[in-house]
């Protein structure tokens, strides 16, 4: 752990400014250290923020400082993110946001204690644990809107020109996938969309698992008012390879299985893969993080997108909405 006053780089300078701006921090005794190393492959984890463990008086770290990345700042609504962090904590679903410093795009959280770690996909695959996550997301969706309507298609429309202008890693069939995404959007919009408050990014790297299998959600940059079937479709797509394993989650979510709702989940899954492939390409063009395999992660998400779009009968899903 490192005391204040010896920053080695720009990130540490920003971290120290944030800690010095927090009234509850004693600058004479506070220390900090990197909490999470960034990695894009196999899991897109801690690559859009700097994470630091914070301690005082020589004790164990009790706080967690998150500095949002500048590289994707235009894609994040900071006000919606902190509103979501506070709402989810009030529901008992996430750590406490102790202080928020919007001018530094910094948030200080209570740090989860002994026995907590970032979840892996195999931690969340059992039906019991996956169902626990679904119920957490349903509790969030039952609340008041966050005030930030968002869809993955809006996100793609925003990323597409940025990536086209700044990145050289676009695959040769990107236009084909983009044409499919536009068709999927038309079908979903025609069927009608209901927006509800959502964490918005249910990938395993944003789930903490603790003693007794307890779960907490972290990282609120994607929070907004979103079609619940988008979030459910993303969860299904990450956890399972086979649709037979995905369908029970829809029954848990809705109380019954519907082919139309399942098709919506699968269509959203293809769009989500395309979105995160584009976002990773943008990070590859902009990020200063050394050795982070953004291109590898983008390639994997493009691959899964084209595999899903190419499945026999996938076009039929558009007709079942």
Q: What is the mean pLDDT of the chain?
A: 95
Q: Is the predicted pLDDT of residue 167 greater than 80, yes or no?
A: no
DSSP lists the bridge partners of residue 51 as 66
When pLDDT is cut at 50, 70 and 90, the band that residue 43 belongs to is confident
Query: Residues 6 or more apart from 11 whose CB is under 8 A from it?
Result: 50, 67
Read off the pLDDT of each residue in 169-182 and give the average, rounded to a whole number. 96
The percentage of the chain sitting over the pLDDT mark of 70, rounded to a whole number, equals 100
Condensed to tens digits (0 to 9), the pLDDT of residues 280-292 reads 999 999 998 878 8
Boundaries of every domain in the chain: 2-110, 117-319
2-110 and 117-319 share one CATH topology?
no
Read off the pLDDT of each residue in 23-48 and give the average, rounded to a whole number. 89
Condensed to tens digits (0 to 9), the pLDDT of residues 265-275 reads 999 999 999 99
Q: What integer pLDDT is reported at residue 158 of this predicted model? A: 97
Spatial distance between the Cα atoms of 245 and 232, rounded to a whole number of angstroms? 13
Q: Is the predicted pLDDT of residue 214 greater than 90, yes or no?
A: yes
DSSP class of residue 112 equals P
Q: Which fold has domain 2-110?
A: Phosphorylase Kinase; domain 1 (3.30.200)
Q: What integer pLDDT is reported at residue 44 of this predicted model? A: 87
Q: What integer pLDDT is reported at residue 112 of this predicted model? A: 95
Q: Do 252 and 134 form a contact (C-beta atoms < 8 A)? A: yes
Q: Is the predicted pLDDT of residue 168 greater than 80, yes or no?
A: no
The percentage of the chain sitting over the pLDDT mark of 90, rounded to a whole number, equals 91
Strands 30-34 and 196-198: unpaired
Condensed to tens digits (0 to 9), the pLDDT of residues 224-236 reads 999 999 999 999 9
Q: Is the predicted pLDDT of residue 171 greater than 90, yes or no?
A: yes
Query: Residues 6 or more apart from 242 whose CB is under 8 A from it?
Result: none
Q: Is the predicted pLDDT of residue 41 greater than 80, yes or no?
A: no
Which residue has better confidence, 92 or 11?
92
Phi, psi of 202 (to 5 degrees): -85, 25
Q: Is the predicted pLDDT of residue 174 greater than 80, yes or no?
A: yes
DSSP lists the bridge partners of residue 196 as 226
117-319: CATH superfamily:
Aminoglycoside phosphotransferase (APH), C-terminal lobe (3.90.1200.10)
Q: How many residues does the chain have?
A: 321
Q: Is the predicted pLDDT of residue 180 greater than 90, yes or no?
A: yes
* Pick from 48, 265, 274, 262: nearest CA to 153: 274
Query: Residues 6 or more apart from 190 whose CB is under 8 A from it?
Result: 321
Read off the pLDDT of each residue in 178-187 and give the average, rounded to a whole number. 98
What's the pTM? 0.96
């Amino acid at each position: 752990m490192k005391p204040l006053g010896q920053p080695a780089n720009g990130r540490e300078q920003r971290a120290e400014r944030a800690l010095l701006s927090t009234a509850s921090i004693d600058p004479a005794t506070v220390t900090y250290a990197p909490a999470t190393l960034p990695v894009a492959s196999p899991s897109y984890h801690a690559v859009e923020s700097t994470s630091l463990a914070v301690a005082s008086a020589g004790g164990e770290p009790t706080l967690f400082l998150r500095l949002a990345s500048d590289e994707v700042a235009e894609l994040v609504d900071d006000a919606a993110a902190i509103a979501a962090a506070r709402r989810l904590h009030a529901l008992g679903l996430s750590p406490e946001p102790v202080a928020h410093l919007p001018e530094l795009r910094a948030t200080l959280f209570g740090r989860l204690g002994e026995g907590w770690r970032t979840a892996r996909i195999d931690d969340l695959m059992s039906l019991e644990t996956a169902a626990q996550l679904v119920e957490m997301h349903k509790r969030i969706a039952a609340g008041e809107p966050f005030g930030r309507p968002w869809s993955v298609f809006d996100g793609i429309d925003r990323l597409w020109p940025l990536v086209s202008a700044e990145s050289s890693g676009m695959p040769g069939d990107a236009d084909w996938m983009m044409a499919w995404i536009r068709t999927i959007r038309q079908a979903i919009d025609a069927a009608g969309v209901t927006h509800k408050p959502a964490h918005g990014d249910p990938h395993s790297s944003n789930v903490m698992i603790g003693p007794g299998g307890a779960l907490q959600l972290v990282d609120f940059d994607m929070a907004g008012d979103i079609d619940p079937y988008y979030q459910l479709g993303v969860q299904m797509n990450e956890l399972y390879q086979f649709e037979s394993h995905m369908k029970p989650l829809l029954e848990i979510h809705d109380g019954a299985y519907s082919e139309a709702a399942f098709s919506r989940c699968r269509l959203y899954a293809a769009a989500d893969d395309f979105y995160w492939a584009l976002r990773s390409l943008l990070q590859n063009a902009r990020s200063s993080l050394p050795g982070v395999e953004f291109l590898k992660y983008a390639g994997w998400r493009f691959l899964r997108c084209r595999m899903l779009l190419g499945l026999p009968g996938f076009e039929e899903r558009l007709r079942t909405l």
